[in-house]
Structure 1
Amino acid sequence: MAEIVYPPVVLAAKTMFRVLDNRLRVTGTEHIPRSGGAVIACNHVSYLDFIFCGLGAQPADRLVRFMAKKAIFDNRIAGPLMRGMHHIEVDRAAGKDSYDEAVQRLRGGEIVGVFPEATISRSFTVKPTKSGAVRMAAEAGVPVVPMALWGTQRLWTKGRPRTLTKRHVPIDIHAGEPFHPGADDDPEVLNKDLRTRMSEILDGLQADYPDEPAGEDDRWWLPAHLGGTAPTPEEAAALDAQRPERG
């Protein structure tokens, strides 16, 4: 398929991050397949994660087709861009159609990006994940590459104002070792393994992050178990139940 929209969008994103001196550190890129289908399963802490997850595959010269909710495709600005980049529209009323399209894309040799937590994690830990990522990989016969991002929440996350022009924010992206779900494997066991892998990568990124909060009021972007003021996973789940937000 023709790639008219995706390359300019990637170039614009890279230019913006360079101007803002957002220090991107991309590691584990040797784990991204240079050819053939694969599922990238990434944690979700920011509204911008699809951009950075996609950048994580750039060193392998791969474009990621993300599964994204219908509301984004319905947006008059984002919609044409999403369709132009050949992302996959997810309509909850017709979820099987989206799933089948993703499997078809994987069998066709494309990389499909999935956020298995489904929504942004307010606690900045990995929430319980849905099994769609491992199920589609098993059906298509392709590997799953676990990935984690850290630092993106400082630019724009759930319940916080956008700070897209904030300068000098380190952004870490790491792709973990791929694993190959089998058609006869238990999806729930695979899903538990995926969540463990994503959590371990995220823990490593958090431990090695080169920046610290500027003061007590800036501790919001750290998870509670690292001394931050973000909600605990239990508190975050309660907040999501009380005040569900898009994302």
Structure 2
Amino acid sequence: MAELVYPPVIGAALGLFKALDLKIDLKGTEHIPERGGAVLASNHISYLDFIFCGYAARPAKRLVRFMAKESVFRHKVSGPLMRAMKHIPVDRSQGAQAYDHALRALRSGEVVGVFPEATISESFTLKGFKNGAARLAQEAGVPLLPMAVWGTQRVWTKGRARDFGRNHFPVTLRVGEAVDAPKGTDADALTVRLKERIQDLLEAAQRAYPDKPKGPEDSWWLPRHLGGTAPAPA
């Protein structure tokens, strides 16, 4: 079936990137397969992370189907778009339904995007990971791809007003080699390995990030262990 909605939405996102003059540094796209199913698992620090994770799949000409909370699908504007782009609603009271939906998508050759932390990390450090991404990759027999985003929190994150000005914010994206996810491996142990791999990618993205806070009031977007004033990890 033709993709009538997703490509124009991508075009709009690219237009937004250009309008905001974002400086995107993307590496590791060669790890995203050009065909077949895959689970793309990323850290979560911004309301816009799904756009940037989807952007990372563009060189492979893939459209990522993201798992997102069900309330987004009920919104009068975002709901029809999310459904048309074949994203996957997650009702936490009926998690098995979302899991089965994602599993079917993977087995049909789709790339499914997952944020294992489930919610935005206000400390900008990794929170505890759910094991759903690992279980999906194992059961579907597809690659489990770790990814890290950094800088997106400066555009729009939880507890802060969105900043859609032309501030030339850098955004650093890193995709890593697939985490081996053989069937029979303990999903919790596999999730620990996934988190370690994403932590490595996140630290690499932070080291490569070209900006520093302009002063104490601008240090809110840095985690405390890097000298910033973001909330302490829960």
What TM-score results when the alignment is normalised by the length of structure 1? 0.93
Aligned pairs (5 A) from 1:69-108: 69-108=69-108
Aligned to 1:210: 210
Long gaps (5+) in structure 2? none
**Matched ranges for 1:5-84 at <5 A:** 5-84=5-84
- Aligned-partner residue type, residue 4 of structure 1: L
Offset at 1:166? 4.2
State yes or no: 1:168 paired with 2:197: no
Aligned residue identity for 1:169: F
**2:3 aligned with 1:3:** yes
The whole-number CA distance in structure 1 between the counterparts of 2:131 and 2:199 is 16
CA deviations 1:115-164 (Å, max 9, x no partner) are 00000001111111000000011000001000000000001111111112
State the partner residue of 2:138.
Answer: 138
Secondary structure at the aligned position of 2:149 is classed as strand
Residue 195 (structure 1) aligns with: 195
Q: Distance in 2 between matches of 1:56 and 1:33?
A: 12
Q: Is the 8 A contact 2:224 2:232 kept in 1?
A: yes
* Separation in 2, partners of 1:227, 1:156: 21
Cα distance in structure 1, aligned partners of 2:20 and 2:55: 16
1:245 corresponds to: none
Q: 1:165 & 1:84 partners in 2: Cα distance?
A: 29
Identity across the alignment (%): 57
* 1:126 equivalent in alignment to 2:126: yes
State the SS of the aligned residue for 2:172.
Answer: strand
Structure 1 residue 165, shift from structure 2 partner: 2.7
The structural deviation recorded for 1:95 is 1.1
1:23–1:169 contact (8 Å) kept in structure 2? yes
Give structure 1 regions of 4+ aligned residues with deviation exceeding 6 angstroms. none
- The TM-score normalised by the length of structure 2 is 0.98
The CA RMSD over aligned residues, in Å, is: 0.9
Cα distance in 1 between the residues matched to 2:136 and 2:46: 24
Distance 2:106 2:179 in 1: 15
SS at match of 1:97: helix
| 3-state SS in 2 of match to 1:4 | coil
Q: Which residue identity does 1:216 align to in structure 2?
A: P
